[in-house]
Each structure stands twice: as C-alpha cells, then as structure tokens.
Structure 1
Amino acid sequence: MKNNFFTIVSHAFAMILCVGLIASPVLAAQGDPDDGGESSSEAGRIGSGENYCSQTAVLVLGSCEAGVRSDFRIAVADCVNLSDQQEQDQCLDEAIMDRGDDLELCQQQLQARLDVCDQLGQDRYDPEIDPANFVNPLAIGQGVQPNPYFPLVPGTQWVYEATSQDDEGEEVTETITVTVTEETKLIEGVTCIVVTDVEMEDDQIIESTNDWYAQDVDGNVWYFGEIAKNFETFEGDDPENPELVNLEGSWKAGRDSAKPGILIPAEPQEGEVIRQEMALGEAEDLVEILSLTGTETAPAANCDGDCLVTRDFSPLEPGISEEKYYAPGVGLILELDEDGERGPELVSITQP
C-alpha cells in the first residue's frame, strides 16, 4: 500500500540523516573534514601514521556517500515537482532504490580500494616526475626506441572491432580507431604525445578521447590524463544525431591533485600491479601483469608465446576487469571481458 508522498519524503530524509551520522573509523577518530568544525590539529592528523592507502580508501568512502546523499536530495526535489500522484510515488521509489544501490556501490568500492592496498602496500601514491627523465615524443621511432608493447610512433593507427547485442537484441558493431598524432601537450613540465581514440557504434560516434601519454628514458609509457567526450542519441529528436552529454572520465595530471601513472612498463614483471592513474573518484585504473608468454590471434596480428597479458581493473567498477593481449612491436591486439568473452580485436594497423 502506498504511503502519502510527503510522509515518504520525510522518512527518506530521516534515512539520509541516519546515514550521515554513521562515521567511518578514520573520520570518527579524526573528525569529518566535511563537518566544518574540525580544528587545525584535527585536520593535521589526517594522513598521519602509516596506513596511508587505507586512510585514503576510507576518506573517499565518505566523499562517495556524501555524493549519494546529494544526488538523492536532487532526485527527491525532482519528484516533488511532479503533479501526478502516481508518478510522484514511482519517482520516489526509484530514487530510494537508486540511493540504496549507490550506497552499496560505495561500500564495494571501499573494499576494492582496500584490496588494492593489500596488493600495493600502505605507502602514499606520490610518484616523482622529473621532466628530464622523459623523451621527446616526436623522436619515438626516429632515434628513440619505442615501448615494445605500446609503440607510440607518430602516424601509427590501430583499428579494433567488436560485435554485441543491444537492449532490443539487435547486433551492433563497435569500431575503435586509435591514432598516434604529431600533436603534443605540455603537462607538469613533461611533453606528452596526443593519441586520439574514437569509438563508433554502427557508424554513430559514442566517445571521442584525446589521451596524453609520455615515454620515459627507460621506455615506460606514462599516462598523464585524457579529455573524454561522451555522446548519446535520443529517440524522437529530428535529426537524431549524437549529442555531447558529458566529459565523464576526463582528468589531467596536476589538476585537482590528479597524478600520472605507468600505462605499460618497458620491462614488465609477472605478478606486479601498477597504478596507471590516480584521480580519486574519477580515474583509478590499475594493471596487473599476468604473463609475458601469452598466445592469441586477431585478424590483423597474433602472438605465439610472446604476448604480454594484463588484467586491467579499477576500484570504481568492482568485479569488472579486462584481460588484454599485447603483441611485441604491434601493441594491443585483443581484449577479453571478465567472463573470457572476446571484445575489441585488432582488424587493421598502419605503421609509418
């Protein structure tokens, strides 16, 4: 039986208050930085001790939960402005359900971050970046040896394809075109090469990204950020063209405390786990080196016992991972999802 709409709203906000009063262990001991009442000495205790990684995970949990509460308030406000009582009730039911799902995701992300701490240890993530340790990206392939698993030679282009089914059961073809341009971008004193990544679905653009990579003198490829433009089409529009809807996933080293990471090491070691990026709450990808002796085949390339095999994952998406195969001298040739299903595979490569 449906309750009165505003009675439900009252209960909903009571639940928000209850959630807000549940403090995490670190925040309970040190004071929540969001409460505005902590002293400078209390604030100074944040980051003290040795469990820096776990402290970070718990603090980000607080931010995640605060974001969920904020989103829920907006959702309830939207419900208030619906005139139809049945639509109001349905709107609030969905808002409450979404809030519960989102709070659960916050907890799952916490556990995923703590699992990463178990793998990497409790040290701070604060890589030292010296621009003198990076090569001129336009010289890669012309005097500078490229990383064997991600040869960032300007003019190189990889094209990937994958097929899947949409919500209506129709088969769709995804095409991803990755191009190493001759454009550069200076970030934190490091000259990065601009690599474009355009994703199409049945000839309609889904995402267009500029990635910023740099190679150090040891051959490691570093990831300094990206600008990701995400598009959607909306049924009923005329013309029904893709529209830019958000820049979700975008980040840049040095902005809002974001830090770069190693995308692909030049000499990977089996079993090592590496942070590829750190923009907390936005970009937290990691890579685990599974093997240096993988074998796989794609339409445009293959490897026989010499593929680098990685597992790419992120605490932002608990339980989701990708297994990737990199052929020496070629680059990425195949992705598998967490169930072993084939994803994008290399269908063509152009090398200067």
Structure 2
Amino acid sequence: MFIGATDGGTAGDVSRLQQFLADDETIYPEGFITGFFGQATLSALQRFQEQNSIASAGSPGHGFVGPMTRAALERGCGGAGLAGQLGANLKKPGNFVGNRPPQTQPQSWGGPEFPFTNAKTRPGATRAPKTAPLPVRPGTPGVSSTFNPSNFTTEITNRYLTLTPGMKLVYETKTASSTERTEILIPGETRVVKGVTTLVYRDRVWLDGALVEDTKDYLAQDRNGNVWYFGEDVNNYEDGQVADHDGSWRAGQNGAQPGIWMKANPQVGDTYAQENYPGVAEDKAEVLSISETVTVPYGTFQSCLKTYDTTPLDPDAREHKYYCPGVGAEILAVDLVSKERSELVSAEIGVTGNPPFETGPVGGSGGSGSNSGEGNGQGNGEDDDDDQAGLPSSSNLASASTSGSSLYSAVAKIILAILLPSYGR
C-alpha cells in the first residue's frame, strides 16, 4: 500500500489498517475510516512505529511496513484479526505502506484523508472482487472525539449531491399491486449533531397514498467536498399513526459515528460506510462505475455514478443506485432482489414550506405534531450529543408547538415520555 491507495486496489486493506490505528486516538486522532490512504493514515502509521520503538523520524523504515511493523500489528491483534487479513498487501516481499516516488503522488493533498480531482494518478482504480460488505470491528470509531466541527458547512455542492434549500425531488416505484411515492425536500432547516451544524434532508414515503415513513437525515459537507451523514430521526407510520422510530440514530450517541454519504471524488472500487451505528444502521456502498448513462421519467443523464449498496443487517437489502451530475442527486435505485425501480419523476426548486414533523411518542397522529422546536426552517442550535438515539430531547418536547391542542395535551406528552419504557423506540 502507498499514499493514494484505496480499498478497491487492496481488497479492503486500507480500511482495515485505518480501523486498527483508529483504536488509539493518540496514534490516529482524526479517526477517518475512508478506504483511502492519505497523509493522515501515513502519519498515524509513523506514530504507531514511534510508540512501539520500531522507527523514528528520519530513519529509513519510518512510514514503511517491514517485518518489525508487521509483527507489532499482529501483536496488537492478538496474533490474528487485522494483521492476519493483510497478507495480500502487507506481507508480500517488496510491498509496503508509506511514500511512493514523487511521480505517483498527487500534486497537492488539499486535506488529510480523501481522494481529490487533482491527483496525477489514481492507483487501485479497478474494481475489487465482490466480497461481503466491508467489515467494521465492534467498538471501532468512524471518527474520533477530536472531529473538528469547523471543517464542515451546510452548503452541499458535491457534483453528485448538490442540495439547495427549496429543492424538491419526487420518485415513484411501481409494482404489480402498489405504487410507492417518495418526496425529498430540502427545507433549509438545520440541526447541530456532534457539534456540527447539519442540513436537514427530509425524506417522506407514501404507499398507495398512505404515509408510511417520515425521516429527517442530517448532512454536512467537509472542506474537501465529501458529504458526511450524521444520522437520522425516523417516524414509521401505520394506519396514520407513528408506530415506531426504528432506524433512528445520531452521531455522538450510544457509540454511533458519522458515515460518508458521498465522496468528493469517488472512484471505481472505492468502498465506504454510509452509516456507522453497529447493530442499528450499517449501510455501506461500493463504487462500480462513474460513466453510466441512465434514463428515468425525468430525463436521460450521462457520466453517472453507480454504487452497490448493502447492509450486513439485512442480506437481502441489495441495491444499485445512480447519481448524476446533471441533477446533483440520486435519480434511480434498483432493488437487486425484487427488481423494482425507484425512479426520479420530477425536480423543483424554490419550494417553500416544511410540513410538521411528529416528535411525540408512538401512537401520535400523523400529520399533526411540531417541528422539533426548529420553527421557521431553522434548527434549535443545540447539540444533540446527549439525547438518546432516535428520541426527541426534553427541550424539544418542552418547546413543541401546542397549536390546535390544549396545554394539557402538551403536559401529557411529557408524562408519557417519563412513564412509557417503550417511548421513542
């Protein structure tokens, strides 16, 4: 492995090495698990060598994996695990981790750990053999506690995911017996998650005209153009009422960490974790192509990104998704089991309004409720790190709108929040 290497060219070894190094924040404080070997990973490897008295700055082996470094990796894994899986790329004679000759390095890095468009060459840009979803060791952080909120913005301008307040996308999925309609709305609302101000990505789904899901996803873009996923609040509906909040998670709560929704410069063979909450939300993606031509009811688009999306939580949940620069969004998702197609049918800008988002306990009436104290399309400015995953905070309950209901109803919701053990999940 070398600077610029990816999971696609190393059969997942870059992420495995990053996962190992990220266990110790003194070694890898950035904690990025990206599948791209950049300067931050090299520096972490060098710190690992220094702490284990293997090599020091200026010595020939600094930043290279030789016999002593391999042995230390194996000891750190108890003789198995990570180092045992790195046979293909770290144990062959002549293979190493570290700097390559200058002609294979990017002209400038522009950031710590991601691929960029100004790279002269892109090693490993071929698709790796299909394997199971990228493993993540239990307890391994996706991003450490030193994650810097100042590196993020709510201005999402990624060429494959360009989100403008007032944007509305409509998708339809038709089967022999039903029609599913999905509406994506970017209302301009924000929320602070893990110290980062994120943009709300509102996702609502109807099945044969009945609302079945209402979700708020929380996204932010780093200074290099990568779009990060900081969690979601989910309302699942049955018979017009909130049935549960299954799938809800927020970075910074109960061990959940941010994932990557979209890389700045995705390349064939790249794999990455979109969601990073073990046991609850573990969606992963692999880039299959960046040159697809796709036709949907909304139009025909070229140079589209194609991904293979999976989750270890549901082996039957396997999709191909297509993102096109002409729209700056997903335009097609194909379920590889049912063969159903979710297709973009319309796109608008300048849409105003933000429908109420239900924040009460399960059993609440769909279509009523409050906007989580985030009125006028803006977040409440509070960090959610101390909230329970998937639950509204007490401050949100206290500030929930009581329009159309009595003060007694608002008080009753607070009492239910205290008394019902199943509240919110």
1:341 alignment partner, SS class: coil
2:187 alignment partner, SS class: strand
Equivalence for 2:225 = 219
Equivalence for 1:323 = 320
Aligned counterparts, 1:240-319, within 5 A: 242-304=240-302, 306-319=303-316
Distance change in 2, residues 1:329/1:133 (3 Å): farther
Moved over 4 A (4+): 120-123
Q: Residue 192 of structure 1: CA displacement? A: 0.2
1:160 to 160, 171, 175: 171
1:160 alignment partner, SS class: strand
1:163 and 1:266 mapped to 2: Cα distance? 32
1:277 alignment partner, SS class: coil
Deviation track 1:175-211 (CA, whole Å, cap 9, x = no partner) reads: 0000112111111111100111010112110000011
Letter paired with 1:217: R
Aligned counterparts, 1:31-180, within 5 A: 49=78, 51=81, 115-117=132-134, 124-128=140-144, 129-135=147-153, 137=154, 139-140=155-156, 146-165=157-176, 171-180=177-186
Verify the 8 A CA contact 1:53 1:123 in the aligned structure 2. Answer: no
Letter paired with 2:175: S
Q: Residue 148 of structure 1: CA displacement? A: 1.0
The structure, 1 or 2, with the larger RCO (C-alpha pairs under 8 Å, 6+ apart) is 2
Q: Which has the higher helix share?
A: 1
Q: Residue 277 of structure 1: CA displacement? A: 1.3
1:204 and 1:254 mapped to 2: Cα distance? 33
Deviation track 1:61-117 (CA, whole Å, cap 9, x = no partner) reads: xxxxxxxxxxxxxxxxxxxxxxxxxxxxxxxxxxxxxxxxxxxxxxxxxxxxx9335
Instruction: Tell me the matched-pair count.
Output: 226
1:209 and 1:297 mapped to 2: Cα distance? 27
Deviation track 1:211-242 (CA, whole Å, cap 9, x = no partner) reads: 11111111111100001110113xxxxxxxx2
2:171 and 2:241 mapped to 1: Cα distance? 23
CA-based RMSD: 2.7
1:259 alignment partner, SS class: coil
Equivalence for 1:86 = none
1:312 alignment partner, SS class: strand
1:126 and 1:333 mapped to 2: Cα distance? 28
Q: Which has the higher strand share?
A: 1
2:139 and 2:290 mapped to 1: Cα distance? 27
2:237 and 2:342 mapped to 1: Cα distance? 19
Letter paired with 2:148: D
Equivalence for 1:332 = 330
Q: Residue 337 of structure 1: CA displacement? A: 1.1
Letter paired with 2:284: L
Identical positions, percent: 38
1:159 alignment partner, SS class: strand
2:316 and 2:170 mapped to 1: Cα distance? 28
Unaligned runs of at least 5 residues, structure 2: 1-75, 85-130, 351-425
TM-score, normalization: structure 1?
0.60
Letter paired with 2:202: T
Distance change in 2, residues 1:53/1:337 (3 Å): farther
Verify the 8 A CA contact 1:334 1:346 in the aligned structure 2. Answer: yes
Q: Residue 125 of structure 1: CA displacement? A: 4.2
Letter paired with 2:169: W
Letter paired with 2:232: E
1:160 and 1:221 mapped to 2: Cα distance? 22
2:215 and 2:173 mapped to 1: Cα distance? 18
1:132 alignment partner, SS class: helix
2:132 and 2:332 mapped to 1: Cα distance? 27
Q: Residue 53 of structure 1: CA displacement? A: 11
2:217 alignment partner, SS class: strand
Q: Residue 127 of structure 1: CA displacement? A: 2.0
Q: Residue 172 of structure 1: CA displacement? A: 1.4
Letter paired with 1:316: L
Q: Residue 124 of structure 1: CA displacement? A: 3.8
Letter paired with 1:161: E
TM-score, normalization: structure 2?
0.50
1:292 and 1:340 mapped to 2: Cα distance? 24
